[in-house]
């Protein structure tokens, strides 16, 4: 028999879901899916490959968003039926199943509620994540690789599609940098709170002094943008270098020079791509990322100028936004939100939802102030 507390918790969960459904505007979402489906079925769709890719990508995102809402609604309906059966038959097994499903739905709906806070211009897009090692020698390059694995494991837990675009291996341990794409709805809005400087403190496995070592890695998150037409890049502003893709230890794995590095000379921004099949594909992917970075930089500069004119300059929250302690007190602490996890091993294995949700709520409060 399920008690009154369970019933109240289920009613509260249903109420929260109704609020989420209203914010998402499911009717409008269904109409958008229908419109995009019709466009995707047009016989001349692929006459314009760029437009076709944009339509099919947007349709996939909208369908995934709608599916997530409808599946949760169905699970709530099924749970209410299970509760009735459990109470009528006084079935302990059914009651245990209902409690487990209530706990699972509470987490899922909590995630959906956080998603409703993602209302930025690019929040609903997928994300391109770049990780770079900082100060700390081998510990820093090893830390960068640990962070890469952490985000890939997080994506795997959620069944998000991941595409590694570029990896630069260190001569010793770990990686100098890596860039990968996670293409699912609201991934940019979700992961953008992970951008900034991450700090690792531990007893170094690479030295014999048995002393604590502090190392750093930077995480950059930009939205996936099929086109960044607002930014034109003259050929005279870029330098294109072609080289061979490399694996760990610098060993060549390609028989042709297909990897591409583009340097934007006015800003010094460098983008490398090596995981596509051809030099042409790598160049196109690198240009797309470069255009996006320049577009975001331009908008950040415009926003900063407006704040300066208004006299409301505020410090960035990017530096040392999170610390990972792997000695003494095992702890992961977000320095912006105060959110802590006492088991770093689970975090490095991809259990990031609590940290990310706290970051999104913190950012929303900060934006509303």
Neighbour count for residue 307 (Cβ, 10 Å): 12
pLDDT band at 57 (very low <50, low <70, confident <90, very high): confident
Q: Which residues of 156-173 are buried (b: 16+ CB within 10 A; e: fewer)?
A: eeeebeeeebbbbbbeeb
pLDDT at 166 over 60: yes
Task: Tell whether the model's pLDDT for residue 1 goes beyond 80.
Answer: no
Please report which helix (H) or strand (E) contains residue 200, including its range: strand 196-203
Q: For the residues 268-297, what does the mean pLDDT come to?
A: 85
Nearest alpha-carbon partner for 125 in 210, 222, 201, 228: 222
Smallest Cα–Cα separation from 128: which of 198, 200, 194? 194
pLDDT above 60: residue 228: no
Between these two residues, 260 and 276, which has the higher pLDDT value?
260
Average pLDDT over residues 156-177: 91
pTM exceeding 0.85: no
d(CA 125, CA 60): 11
**Average pLDDT in the chain:** 85
The pLDDT of residue 229 is 54
Q: If you average pLDDT over residues 297-310, what whole number do you get?
A: 62
Maximal CA-CA distance, the chain: 77
Q: Is the pLDDT confidence value at 257 over 80?
A: no
């Amino acid at each position: 028999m399920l008690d009154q507390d369970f019933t109240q918790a289920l009613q509260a969960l249903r109420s929260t879901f109704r609020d989420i459904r209203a914010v998402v505007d499911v009717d409008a979402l269904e109409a958008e899916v229908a419109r995009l489906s019709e466009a995707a079925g047009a016989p001349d769709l692929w006459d314009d490959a760029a437009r076709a890719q944009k339509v099919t990508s947007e349709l996939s995102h909208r369908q995934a968003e709608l599916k997530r809402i409808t599946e949760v609604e169905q699970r709530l309906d099924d749970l209410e039926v299970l509760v009735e059966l459990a109470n009528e038959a006084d079935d302990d097994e059914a009651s245990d199943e209902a409690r487990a499903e209530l706990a699972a739905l509470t987490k899922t709906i909590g995630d959906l509620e956080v998603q409703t806070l993602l209302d930025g211009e690019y929040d609903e897009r997928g994300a391109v994540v770049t990780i770079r090692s900082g100060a700390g020698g081998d510990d820093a390059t090893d830390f960068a690789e640990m962070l890469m694995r952490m985000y890939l494991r997080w994506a795997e837990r959620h069944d998000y599609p991941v595409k590694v675009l570029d990896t630069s291996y260190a001569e010793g341990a770990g990686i100098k940098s890596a860039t990968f794409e996670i293409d699912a709805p609201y991934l940019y809005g979700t992961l953008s709170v992970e951008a900034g400087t991450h700090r690792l403190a531990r007893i170094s496995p690479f030295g014999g002094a048995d002393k604590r070592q502090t190392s750093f890695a930077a995480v950059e998150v930009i939205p996936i943008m099929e086109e960044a037409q607002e930014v034109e890049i003259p050929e005279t502003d870029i330098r294109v270098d072609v080289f061979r893709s490399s694996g760990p230890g610098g060993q060549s794995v390609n028989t042709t020079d297909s990897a591409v590095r583009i340097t934007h000379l006015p800003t010094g921004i460098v983008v490398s791509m090596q995981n596509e099949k051809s030099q042409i594909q790598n160049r196109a992917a690198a240009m797309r990322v470069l255009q996006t970075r320049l577009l975001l930089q331009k908008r950040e500069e415009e926003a900063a100028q407006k704040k300066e004119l208004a006299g409301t300059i505020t410090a960035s929250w990017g530096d040392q936004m999170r610390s990972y302690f792997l000695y003494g007190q095992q702890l992961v602490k977000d320095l912006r939100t105060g959110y802590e996890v006492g088991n770093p091993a689970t975090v490095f294995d991809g259990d990031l939802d609590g940290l990310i949700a706290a970051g999104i709520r913190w950012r929303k409060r900060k934006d509303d102030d």
